[in-house]
Copies of this chain bind each other. A is one copy, B any other.
Amino acid sequence: MYPNFINHIRKYVDLDDHSVALLLKYITPLKLKRKEFLLKEAQVCQSIYFVEKGCLRMYFVDNKLNEQITQFALEHWWMTDHFSFQDNKPSPYFIQTVEKSEILAISTTSFEAMLRELPQMERYFRIIMQRAVAAAQLRNKYLYEMSKEEFYQHFSTSFPEFVQCVPQYMIASYLGLTPQYVSELRKKKL
């Protein structure tokens, strides 16, 4: 059951079968079609989401009414609006499936109860969050030192699965480029 989820946790902490059974009480599995929403602007983000299968995107709508994508989550990745989830505040974001997806949701209340019952999950999430901080630190460095073209080349080399399955206009939005420019870069690369 949910092999990606259980294997991902077991990469970082010990989790025996009894603990798996306890853990699953806190999980709500969701089977979603393409372009279904998990969160809309002004709602409180009530859950943290694990991508068992498929892909999510997070975006906000800017002053000019453009959708500005700020993050993607591929298989094995977690996604939430952290401030909204932690502080119970309305979110400025939308979270939506990019394709048909299987998502595991843990609500705020379940998250706290799970951490109390299963201390190894406290450890797992400490490690996951620490790795997310490391990734944010690295991405931040790239933003300082790379041109947009270098950033695209680096991005498409590091995550070929994105470039395969995510529409070009979404990658352009994420990278702050025009779709035309991404199309040119792609041709250059080929």
Q: Report B-chain residues with C-beta under 8 Å of the C-beta of A123.
A: 115, 122, 126
Binary CB contact string for chain A from 37 to 76 against chain B (1 if under 8 A, 0 otherwise): 0000000000000000000000010110000101100000
Q: Report B-chain residues with C-beta under 8 Å of the C-beta of A82.
A: 130-131, 133-134, 137
Q: Report B-chain residues with C-beta under 8 Å of the C-beta of A70.
A: 137, 140-141, 144
Contact of A144 among B68, B86, B126, B144 (CB under 8 A): B68
- Known interface pairs A123-B122, A126-B126, A144-B70; A133-B132 also in contact (CB < 8 Å): yes
Judge if A136 is at the interface, Cβ distance under 8 Å: yes
Judge if A155 is at the interface, Cβ distance under 8 Å: no
Judge if A176 is at the interface, Cβ distance under 8 Å: yes
Interface secondary structure of A, over-half rule: helix
Q: Report B-chain residues with C-beta under 8 Å of the C-beta of A63.
A: 145
Interface residues on A, range: 20 to 34
Task: Indicate how many identical chains form the complex.
Answer: 2
What distance in Å separates the Cβ of A35 from its nearest Cβ neighbour in chain B? 22
29 inter-chain pairs at a CB distance below 8 angstroms, sorted by A residue, are A60-B141, A60-B144, A62-B144, A62-B145, A63-B145, A68-B144, A68-B145, A70-B140, A81-B137, A82-B131, A82-B133, A82-B137, A83-B137, A83-B138, A86-B130, A86-B134, A115-B123, A119-B122, A122-B126, A125-B126, A125-B130, A126-B126, A126-B129, A132-B136, A136-B136, A136-B137, A139-B140, A143-B143, A144-B176
Supplied contacts A68-B144, A86-B130, 18 more A-B pairs, CB within 8 Å: A60-B145, A70-B140, A70-B141, A70-B144, A82-B130, A82-B131, A82-B134, A82-B137, A119-B122, A122-B122, A122-B126, A125-B126, A125-B130, A126-B129, A129-B129, A129-B132, A132-B136, A136-B136
